Amino acid sequence: MKQIIALATLAVSALAPTLAHAGLDSDNPIHPLVGVALTAGGDKIASVEYENGGSRDITAGGLVQLSGGVEYHEKGAPWGVQATIGYHFDNTSADNGNQRFQRWPVEVIGLFNLTPKFRVGVGARYAAAAKFTSDGAGYVGNADFKSQLGALVMAEWLITPSMGVQLRFVDEKYKVDETNLSTDTTRRVTVDGSHAGLGFNYYF
């Protein structure tokens, strides 16, 4: 995870000098974007116990989201519309086993500028292909999660027309089949994936 964040930061740093005049103030209203966010929240899906006595939970709202997409925003306009697709995951890895909860969120957000540098947004999100996998000593089973359409709200401070820092909150839920091994019965349960996040977007 640290390597992914470091690579994303390095890429933005490398692109920033050459794209200093790009961003939401350019005459072209179509703006590609890339983003990264750290998220927390949601129900616990699984837990791993380490040999040193520590533990790590996998949650339905964690932990890292990478995204890319496009925003339509005319120069000087107070509003914009953003559409992205991302990869959102929470995982734990060890030499003898792994656990991961992953999904591919599609988001559409309407944005409105309260000031030239501060804006708020409201939108919808669908976390496609959500699934939990495990292997090795961390094996506790695998499961496909049925995503429910969720809602999100966000606030963003535009450091420059090309760079924004976001606070996000997502309300979403999943359905998953849970098997009781003692009775050999299965029931469908609801898992809360709601989470808050701190993110960074770069606009081209």
- The contacts of residue 172 (CB under 8 Å, 6+ apart) are 125, 127, 147, 148, 149, 150, 151, 193, 194
* pTM as predicted: 0.85
Q: Over the stretch 81-104, which tens digit does the pLDDT of each residue have?
A: 999 999 999 999 877 778 999 999
Fold of 2-203: Porin (2.40.160)
**75-84, 141-150, 179-188: the lowest-pLDDT one:** 179-188
Whole-angstrom Cα distance, residue 159 to residue 79?
17
Distances in Å between the Cα of 28 and the Cα atoms of 20, 163, 194 are 15, 17, 35
Q: Over the stretch 105-147, which tens digit does the pLDDT of each residue have?
A: 999 999 999 999 999 999 999 999 999 999 987 788 899 999 9
Question: What is the rounded average pLDDT of the residues 26-55?
Answer: 90
